[in-house]
């Protein structure tokens, strides 16, 4: 932990602010999956209707991520973070007061806008605050907050549902999801806005455009296309696995391990470990190599899952590497996407690359189902996930290595120990950087 002692107080405060926000987002998102049975019993709705709420929240989250990126470029990183946290907290609290299914569907969808936006705004803020040599570690650590929030949701679910009846317990659990609002007070007092770079011709050119148009400027359009493909492959593989693997193991392999608390605990621990290892590794071997390594391991592990003739115990053990490797990919994307873009369009670019993939990747689970009509569902899942992670590998090879780039011109408050040099991506057009 020598690196942690090296970073400044501002860097530490920003790190833990983003960590706390992402953990609290995860708490509420995972809490919804836990209370679905209570919602079905309370309002007599079907599983399809409950699933629609979750799906609408995810789509809204992707749109919120795109919007928050634009807002962070136009109005500042800290202000965009404050807006998304306040929005998320408000509609989380209102969701606890919903009186019927239709109200909850609308409120959870609106909440999703803040949920997706918080990651984008926080990611860009952190990337421009943390010094280059430790950026990968901090971004990976923040991604691990999802696992801690997930674990907190399971713990709170057990406590609240043992204390209150189901028709009231889910409301209490949702109300606790408003806790991110407390971050606003901390952010206002302790997290400064990163400085704006106006020194380079590229920065001035892109600042003159609307951010949403700037990411399609000739100097960065290649980055936008390739980054979007990485987001598509990363989310496509993940959604194919989470959608179809439980069904495959239960219906075709007749395994019961997925219904156990032990499986859930293994997956959560594996996710956290994967984020931490990816955080350390990407600052050692680079963003591209780290992304390629975890994507290849994901493809191999998924195919072992669907083709090896193993039982419950072995499946439980194999769930650890699956969760471990799948966590390493998103833990890398934050640093990589932020380091690819000039500051004037960085928020919009990060929001697009990450969330374009989230929206379009919905086609991968559909493709598995379609292929499953003519082949075993396990074979379809292995092919589909392999193709998705293969897309990540190919797209990563088309990008430059960005490890070590300084992407903020001067650190806030002039704290010592941080480079004040402009980023390589801002010293020369992105197109030249790709050829380097």
pLDDT at 325 (0 to 100) = 93
Answer whether residue 371 is part of any domain: yes
Last residue of a domain, one of 187, 218, 251: 187
233 and 372 inside one domain: yes
Q: Is 68 within the bounds of a domain? A: yes
Same domain? For 325 and 238 the reply is yes
239 and 151 belong to one structural domain: no
Q: Is residue 61 part of a domain?
A: yes
163 and 310 in a common domain:
no
**Residues 215 and 153 grouped into a single domain:** no
Residues 234, 392 contacting (CB under 8 angstroms): yes
Give the Å distances, CA to CA, from 393 to 66, 289, 296, 299: 24, 9, 7, 11
In a domain, 39, yes or no: yes
Any domain includes 2: no
How would you write 348-368 as a 3-class SS string? HHHHHHHHHHHHHCCHHHHHH
- Same domain assignment for residues 393 and 362: yes
Chain segment 97-122, per-residue pLDDT in tens: 999 999 999 999 899 888 888 889 99
* Of the candidates 360, 344, 402, 390, the residue with the CA atom closest to the CA atom of residue 210: 344
Q: Are 278 and 323 in contact (CB under 8 A)?
A: no
User: Do 149 and 33 meet the contact criterion of CB atoms below 8 Å apart?
Assistant: no
Domain finish residue from 187, 220, 242: 187
How far is Cα 6 from Cα 364, in angstroms, rounded to an integer? 43
| pLDDT score recorded for residue 424 | 40
Q: What is the pLDDT of residue 422?
A: 40
Same domain, 121 and 214: no
Tokens of 184: 């606003």
- Pair 214, 341 in one domain: yes
Number of domains in the chain: 2
Range of the domain at 428: 208-407+420-436
Quick check: is 195 in a domain? no
Q: Is residue 349 part of a domain?
A: yes
**One domain for residues 182 and 238:** no
Residues found in the chain: 436
Q: Note whether 25 and 94 are same-domain residues.
A: yes
Q: Which residues of the chain have pLDDT under 50?
A: 410-436
* 218 and 181 assigned to the same domain: no
Both 141 and 175 in a single domain? yes
Residue 232, domain CATH:
1.20.1250.20
8: left (phi over 0), alpha (psi -120 to 50) or beta: beta
How far lies 6's CA from each of 17, 68, 332, in Å?
Answer: 18, 31, 22
Whole-number pLDDT of residue 179: 72
Residue 131 is classified by DSSP as: -
**Model-level pTM?**
0.82
Contact 169, 20 (CB under 8 A): no
- Dump pLDDT digits (tens) for 343-364: 888 999 999 999 888 888 877 8
Answer yes or no: is 200 within a domain.
Answer: no
């Amino acid at each position: 932990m020598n690196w942690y002692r090296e970073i400044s107080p501002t860097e530490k405060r920003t790190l833990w602010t983003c960590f706390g926000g992402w953990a609290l987002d995860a708490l509420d998102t995972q809490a919804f999956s836990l209370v679905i049975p209570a919602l079905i019993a309370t309002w007599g709705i079907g599983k399809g209707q409950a699933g629609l709420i979750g799906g609408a929240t995810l789509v809204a989250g992707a749109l919120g991520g795109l919007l928050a990126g634009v807002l962070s470029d136009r109005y500042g990183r800290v202000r965009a973070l404050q807006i998304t946290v306040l929005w998320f907290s408000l509609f989380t609290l209102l969701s606890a007061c919903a009186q019927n299914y239709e109200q909850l569907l609308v409120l959870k969808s609106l909440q999703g806008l803040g949920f997706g936006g918080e990651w984008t705004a926080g990611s860009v803020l952190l990337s421009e605050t943390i010094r280059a040599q430790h950026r990968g570690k901090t971004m990976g650590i923040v991604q691990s907050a999802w696992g801690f929030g997930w674990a907190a949701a399971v713990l709170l679910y057990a406590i609240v549902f043992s204390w209150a009846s189901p028709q009231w317990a889910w409301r209490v659990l949702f109300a606790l999801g408003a806790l991110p609002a407390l971050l606003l007070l901390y952010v206002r007092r302790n997290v400064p806005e990163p400085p704006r770079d106006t020194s380079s011709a590229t920065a001035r050119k892109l600042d003159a455009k609307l951010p949403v148009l700037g990411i399609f400027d000739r100097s960065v359009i290649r980055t936008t296309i390739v980054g979007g493909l990485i987001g598509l492959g990363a989310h496509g593989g993940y959604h194919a696995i989470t959608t179809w693997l439980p069904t495959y193991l239960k219906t075709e392999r007749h395994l019961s391990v997925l219904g156990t608390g032990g499986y859930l605990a293994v997956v959560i621990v594996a996710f956290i470990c994967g984020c931490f290892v990816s955080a350390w590794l990407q600052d050692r071997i680079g963003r591209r190599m780290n992304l390629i390594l975890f994507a290849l391991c994901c493809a191999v592990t998924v195919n072992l899952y669907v083709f090896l003739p193993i039982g419950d115990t072995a499946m439980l053990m194999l769930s650890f590497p699956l969760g471990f490797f799948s966590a390493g990919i998103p833990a890398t994307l934050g640093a990589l996407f932020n380091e690819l873009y000039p500051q004037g369009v960085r928020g919009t670019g990060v929001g697009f690359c990450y969330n374009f993939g989230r929206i379009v990747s919905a086609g991968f689970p559909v493709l598995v189902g379609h292929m499953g009509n003519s082949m075993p569902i396990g074979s379809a899942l292995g092919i589909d996930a392999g193709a998705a992670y293969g897309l990540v590998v190919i797209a990563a090879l088309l990008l430059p290595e960005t490890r070590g780039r300084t992407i903020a011109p001067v650190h806030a408050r002039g704290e010592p120990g941080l480079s004040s040099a402009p980023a390589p991506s801002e010293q020369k057009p992105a197109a030249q950087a790709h050829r380097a």
